[in-house]
Homo-oligomer: A and B are copies of this chain.
C-alpha cells in the first residue's frame, strides 16, 4: 500500500475548477469532499473566487499553502496537462482527472493525453482517470471525485475494496453489493486508466491490511499478465477477487470501444486467465453481491458437503437441484447428529438431509431445540457448510432462526447461509440481526447453492495457492533454428520444431517430386502435400489417408500433387509427405495463440468437425504446469471420451498433459517469434501408448 497511502489517505485535497454550481463536476467535487466528514485540508482552486463556502479558494495549485496529496481536476481537457505539471512542481503526488477529451476523443485528445502523461512523469505525479468518477475512502470519508460515487446511498465502512472501470455501472455493482450488508473500504472509479490501471490498484488493495475482499468491474485490461500477477498476489494473501467483465460480445465490444478505450481480449481467454489465478468471475451484479457478502463474512468452506435445514420442503427441492448443478453433496448426517435431531425436532420432521423441521417450528419456545439441532449439524465432522432455508418465515419464527444461527456461529467456524424470501417489513427484527451480524443471505435456494459452491471453489484454489501463485518458469534454452521473417513453416519444418522440444511426431518421409517411392514403409500410410504456401492441406485435397499398398501409394502421390497444383498453382511445392498413419488415436487439437492482452495462450480441444462446430475448446495462459494441463483435458464438454466410452479404450491423458505442458513451455520460450502454432491432430492413443502429433503448423512473426 505504501505507494498509494497518500492517494487513499490524503492530508489535503485540491479541487481544481471548484465552483458553487453543484451541477458542474467541479461543484460536485467540492461538495463531495466538504460534506462527508473529511478531516483533511479542503483546497478549492479557481481564480474566479476568493472563498467557496467556508474554504479559502486558491488562484492556482502554486498558491496552495497547506499539505495537499491529491488534486481533483475538473477543468477542460486542454488545460489539464498544465495543471498536472503544476502538481509536480508543487509536490502533489496524485491527480484525479475527472473529465474526458483524451485518448477516446480522437487525435487531438491522444496528443493531449501524451502531454498530460509527460507532465506527470516529469513531476512524479500519478494519475487516476481521465474520464472517471474518482475515488472514495469510505473509512476516512475521502470522496475525491464527482457523480454517483459521491452521492447517496452512502456505503458503510467495511473490508471490501473495489476498482471499477466505468463509474455508472461499476458503481451499480458496488451499490448493489453494499445493499447486501457489505461494507467497503476503497472504491476507485478508474476511467480510462491512462496511468494507474486496475492491476496496480488491486495490488494496492492486496497490500492494504484492512482490505479482505477485492471487487472489480472491468471492460478490458491493457496488460493481462499484470492483472494475473495482481490476482495471484491476492490469492497468496488469501483475499478473494471477484470480477465482473463486460465488453465480451460483438455488440458489447462495439459499445465498449465507444465507451472507454481499453484493449479488449477474447473473452474466452480472459475467463480462462482469471480462472487460472483463482479469480471468481461473475456475469451479473447480483452474483457479485451474493458472493462478496459470503467472502466478507470471512468463513472458509472446507469442502462440498452441505446440509440444508428448513421448514419449506419446496425450498429444499430447489436447493437440491442447484446443488447437483454445482457439485455440492447433500451429505448424510452421522448417527450422532441424527440422534440429536430426533431428540429436538418435532415428530413430523424429516431428519435426513435436507432436514425439514416443519414450517413454524422455531417458536420462542422451540428456539433452544432448534439451536441444539443446528449446533449438532455444524459439529458433524462430515459437514462443511449449512444452509438455513427460512423461506417465507416471518416475525419471531424468522428472528429465532437467525438468532439460532448467530448463536451457533459462535461455536463453529463453518459458514452458514440463509435463504429468506420475505421483505424487511415482515420480519424487521430478524433482518436487523442479519444486518448487524452480517450473516450471508440469498433470496433463493439456488443462489444459496451457487454461493456455497463458490466458497468451496475458492477453498480448493486456496489449497493450491503455492502452485497457482508460482507458475513454472521454463528454463531458457537454445531454440531450434528458425527462418527469419513472418513465414509459415510447412508440416515437416513445423514437426522438426516440435521434435526439438521432445514432442512425439509421426514417422514421415519427404518424397521430392518425381523421386522414387520410399522403401520399407509400413502400411497404412497418409500422403500429404508439402508446401509452406499451403497451410490447410485437406481443404484443397492435399491429403490422402488410409493408403493401403504400393499401388495406392503411387496413385495418392500423383493425386495430392495434382490437387495442390490445381488449387494453388503459385504454391512452391517441396514434394509429398509419406507419413505413418496412427489408427488408434482420438483426435485432439493443441494450439497456441498470441493474445493481444495475455500473450502466448495454449488452446486445447477435441478434433473433428462437430467439436470445432460447437467450439469445445479450453485455454490456459502459458507457461503453466502439468496440473493445469490435466485440468484442461477435464474442462472440455467431451472430456468423458478420454475415459473410453462405447467400448473404446481409455486414453493416455497423462501423455496428453505432458504434451500440453511442453506446448506451454514452447509458447513461452518462442513468444518473440511465434504468431500461431497448431498441432492438429494430436492423436491420443490408448493408455500407455502415448500421443503423436500427426500434423503441425507454425506461423512465425
Task: List chain A positions with a Cβ less than 8 A from chain B.
Answer: 23, 100, 147-148, 151-153, 164-173, 175-176, 179, 217, 219, 246-252, 254-256, 258-260, 283-286, 310-321, 323-325, 330, 348, 350, 352, 354, 356, 359-360, 363, 391-395, 421-423, 425-426, 443-447, 539, 606, 608-614, 616, 637-638, 640-641, 645-648
* A311-B168, A444-B286, A446-B283 as given contacts; A259 in contact with B610, CB under 8 Å: no
Q: Is the CB of A314 within 8 A of B167?
A: yes
20 A-B pairs (CB sep. < 8 Å): A147-B360, A151-B392, A151-B394, A153-B425, A164-B314, A171-B391, A175-B392, A219-B314, A246-B314, A246-B318, A247-B321, A252-B320, A255-B320, A258-B352, A259-B316, A286-B286, A286-B443, A286-B444, A539-B647, A612-B646
* A313-B168, A314-B259 as given contacts; A176 in contact with B394, CB under 8 Å: no
> Which single member of B285, B330, B641 contacts A421 (CB below 8 Å)?
B285
How far apart sit A445 and B217, CA to CA, in the bound complex (Å)?
Answer: 14
> Which single member of B314, B422, B606 contacts A153 (CB below 8 Å)?
B422
How far apart sit A609 and B256, CA to CA, in the bound complex (Å)?
Answer: 40
Task: List chain B residues, Cβ under 8 A from A100.
Answer: 348
Q: Is the CB of B425 within 8 A of A152?
A: yes
Chain B: CB-nearest residue to A152: B426
> Which single member of B348, B425, B606 contacts A610 (CB below 8 Å)?
B606
Q: Is the CB of A148 within 8 A of B443?
A: no
How far apart sit A315 and B539, CA to CA, in the bound complex (Å)?
Answer: 43
Q: Is the CB of B612 within 8 A of A168?
A: no
Chain B: CB-nearest residue to A260: B313
Task: List chain B residues, Cβ under 8 A from A148.
Answer: 359, 391-394
> Which single member of B251, B354, B356, B637 contacts A330 (CB below 8 Å)?
B251
Q: Is the CB of A312 within 8 A of B641?
A: no
Q: Is the CB of B172 within 8 A of A648?
A: no
Nearest chain B CB to A181's CB is how many angstroms away? 12
How far apart sit A350 and B100, CA to CA, in the bound complex (Å)?
Answer: 13
Chain B: CB-nearest residue to A131: B313
How far apart sit A153 and B319, CA to CA, in the bound complex (Å)?
Answer: 23
Q: Is the CB of A172 within 8 A of B391?
A: yes
Nearest chain B CB to A442's CB is how many angstroms away? 10
